[in-house]
Amino acid sequence: MMRKLLAEGLGTAFLLIAVVGSGIMAEALSGGSVGLALLANAIATGCALYVLITIFGPVSGAHFNPAVTLVFLILGETPPRTAAACIVTQIAAGILGVWIAHLMFELPILQLSTTDRTGPGQWSADLIATFGLVLTILGGVRYRPECIPTLVGLYITGAYWFTASTSFANPAVTIARSYTDTFAGILSSHAPAFIVAQLVGAVLAVLVAGVVFAPDEHAAD
């Protein structure tokens, strides 16, 4: 259990370091181009996810995401006590990762975001982002488990661009990003609606995956 929690904590912390740190760097170097900053932010996040899932996957499953942990709880693959411990660890480690990013760039460590991210478009976008992420993971587990780091890294890189929310798709990331008033931030009062949308998207993906990825009854014929 301790190894699993340490892996989840390190992975989630480094994920937030990548998200927030690359956002700070991108904003500083992009010359005011929001599109260029978002591109840099997306690439850095996708690359970091590939590495983190590859190295920590064999230890903890590399969830780094309460919504993903909830999915495997629903599927009966993660015991309730383990799931609860992982979720608490993910949230705490995510906030710590944000603080570390601030420290590296010599910003005030304790911050609260002032960035507005709200409305039906943003909520539906993050529901879709999380739905697609969970479907990607479950499809990978079913057919190509060795490709999951690549699948998730590429999906998140793309989802930064094809969703209106820039694809938070993770309650721990959402909470942590409310503690940074930088490029990646979200106003804390807007975070709960994102989290609800993410959880709904995750549960819908479990239901759809149960049909789409069901074992082929004629596979043995």
Res 135 pLDDT > 60: yes
CATH code for position 206: 1.20.1080.10
The reported pLDDT for the residue numbered 175 is: 98
The reported pLDDT for the residue numbered 215 is: 82
Does residue 220 belong to any structural domain of this protein?
Answer: no
Does residue 57 belong to any structural domain of this protein?
Answer: yes
* Residues above pLDDT 90, as percent of the chain: 96
Domain hosting 98: range is 2-212
Does residue 219 belong to any structural domain of this protein?
Answer: no
The reported pLDDT for the residue numbered 114 is: 96
Judged by DSSP in three states, 195 sits in: helix
* Domains identified in the chain, total number: 1
How much is the average pLDDT of 161-167?
96
Report how many helices (DSSP H) and strands (DSSP E) the chain contains, helices first.
8, 0
Give the pLDDT confidence of 54-113 residue by residue, as tens digits.
Answer: 999 999 999 999 999 999 999 999 999 999 999 999 999 999 999 999 999 999 999 999
Does residue 92 belong to any structural domain of this protein?
Answer: yes
Neighbours of 67 (CB within 10 A): 26
Does residue 221 belong to any structural domain of this protein?
Answer: no
Does residue 99 belong to any structural domain of this protein?
Answer: yes
Query: Following DSSP, what letter does each residue of 52-119 receive, concatenated?
Result: HHHHHHHHH----SHHHHHHHHHTTSS-HHHHHHHHHHHHHHHHHHHHHHHHHTT--SS--------S
Chain mean pLDDT for the chain: 96
pLDDT confidence tier of residue 218, bands split at 50, 70 and 90? low
